[in-house]
């Protein structure tokens, strides 16, 4: 065990901080794990340590800083051998990058001023990148957004951590933000893909249950089915069916504002739909419309429009069934597109390839 305060500053390491940001970011990629990065930074001066940390994205910076604090407080063991081995491996990496041409020797200040100052471009990127939520974007908008993100991640030299931070900041749905967060950390491609697979499976399962509940609700409205029959049908979608049925009957009448959004779990959606059914029974469709005029679930919105249009039950069932399949397929495509885009950005793949890859899920060629 050794204390950080006992480590002597290595001038070979300190000299690395004289390099341009772009080079530092090339040195401290995710190939060097957060744990190894923290052990290396333990041998830096405080000032140099901050320079390196500023060239990591928000996720890695927070994790590396946390490890450094743990080493400093002796909450985690730190051996001199581990630090020395990590630092020597880093210096070997720098030498390899120089020999392979990824890093060129020269005056950092001159290079920064002439080539790496992308401040204006970064501001423009920030101004042009909107909030992203796949639930509220169609396929064309989805492709356009990730294409813009990829192009700027590729072209804004020396700004990669800022670009990654901005992309993460603008992601407004759990799936996209979770996958991108993993991708800019020190995880492997396999780990990112595995987590994406798990999240996709969960999202699709929740969506299937939500659309099944909505379809059951809509058919109940169309056939003038009694609310107690609907509660029994809703309960069958859950493992604890009797408990759910009791909750629906007991708590739904007390619900003040029924809501159906992608953020709600299936149990709450069932509760809201059952409340809407009670409103129809008590006061008619007009009362329900007060709560559904601004509904953001496209399947429910379309279904209600068909109900209000008094579509024949036979056609209604077929339309709802096919709509449900189409919306589910679109969701699955969106999740695959996002995963592909994230992996492409992570691996610095050409935006052209990203664009073609995402467009391959559709029947048209995307035009910028």
What's the whole-model pTM score?
0.89
Report pLDDT digits (tens) over 91-148: 999 999 999 988 876 544 455 455 557 788 999 999 999 999 999 899 999 999 999 9
- Angstrom CA distances, 57 to 34, 148, 186, 311, stand at 12, 19, 11, 54
Query: What was the pLDDT predicted at 106?
Result: 56
Q: What are the per-10-residue average pLDDT scores of the chain (368 residues)?
A: 73 88 92 96 93 97 97 90 93 92 65 64 94 93 96 92 98 96 96 96 94 96 92 93 91 86 86 92 86 86 92 94 96 96 95 92 73
Measured distance CA(330)–CA(274) in Å, rounded: 27
- Which residues, including other chains, have CB under 8 Å from residue 291's CB and lie 6 or more apart? 257, 258, 259, 276, 279
For the chain, what are the domain ranges?
A: 4-113, 118-368
- Angstrom CA distances, 169 to 130, 136, 286, stand at 10, 17, 40
Measured distance CA(178)–CA(67) in Å, rounded: 22
DSSP 24-72: HHHHTSTTS-HHHHHHHHTTS-HHHHHHHHTTS-HHHHHHHHHHHHHHH
Query: What was the pLDDT predicted at 347?
Result: 94
Q: What's the token pair of residue 41?
A: 């930074």
215 phi and psi angles, rounded to 5 deg: -60, -45
Count the alpha carbons within 13 Å of 357 in the hemisphere toward its beta carbon. Answer: 19
> According to CATH, what is the number of the domain 4-113?
1.10.220.30
Q: What's the token pair of residue 270?
A: 């069932």
Query: What was the pLDDT predicted at 12?
Result: 85
């Amino acid at each position: 065990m050794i204390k950080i305060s006992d480590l002597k500053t290595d001038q070979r390491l300190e000299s690395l901080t004289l390099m341009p940001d772009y080079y530092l970011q090339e040195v401290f990629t995710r190939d060097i794990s957060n744990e190894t990065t923290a052990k290396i930074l333990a041998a830096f001066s405080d000032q140099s340590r901050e320079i390196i940390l500023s060239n990591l994205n928000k996720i890695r910076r927070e994790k590396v800083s946390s490890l450094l604090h743990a080493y400093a407080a002796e909450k985690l063991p730190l051996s001199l051998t581990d630090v020395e081995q990590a630092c020597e491996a880093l210096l070997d990496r720098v030498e390899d990058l120089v020999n392979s041409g990824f890093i060129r020797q020269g005056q950092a200040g001159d290079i920064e001023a002439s080539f790496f100052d992308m401040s204006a471009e970064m501001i423009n990127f920030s101004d042009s990148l909107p909030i992203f939520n796949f639930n509220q974007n169609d396929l064309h908008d989805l492709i356009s957004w990730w294409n813009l993100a990829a192009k700027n991640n590729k072209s804004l030299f020396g700004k990669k951590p800022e670009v990654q931070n901005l992309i993460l900041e603008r992601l407004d749905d759990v799936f996209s933000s979770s996958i991108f967060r993993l991708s800019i950390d020190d995880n492997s491609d396999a780990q990112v893909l595995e987590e994406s697979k798990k999240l996709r499976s969960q999202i699709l399962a929740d969506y299937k249950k939500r659309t099944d509940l909505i379809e059951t609700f809509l058919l109940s409205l169309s056939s003038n089915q009694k609310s107690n029959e609907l509660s029994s049908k809703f309960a069958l979608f859950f493992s604890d069916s009797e408990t759910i049925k009791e909750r629906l009957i007991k708590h739904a009448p007390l619900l003040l504002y029924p809501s159906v959004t992608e953020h709600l779990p299936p149990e709450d959606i069932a509760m809201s739909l059952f409340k809407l059914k009670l409103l129809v029974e008590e006061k008619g469709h007009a009362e329900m419309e007060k709560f559904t005029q601004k509904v953001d679930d496209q399947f429910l919105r379309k279904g209600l429009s068909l109900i209000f249009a008094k579509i024949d039950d036979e056609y209604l069932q077929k339309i709802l069934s096919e709509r449900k399949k189409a919306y589910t397929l679109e969701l699955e495509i969106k999740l695959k597109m996002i995963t592909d885009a994230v992996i492409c950005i992570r691996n610095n793949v050409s935006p052209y390839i990203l664009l073609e890859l995402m467009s391959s899920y559709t029947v048209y060629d995307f035009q910028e």
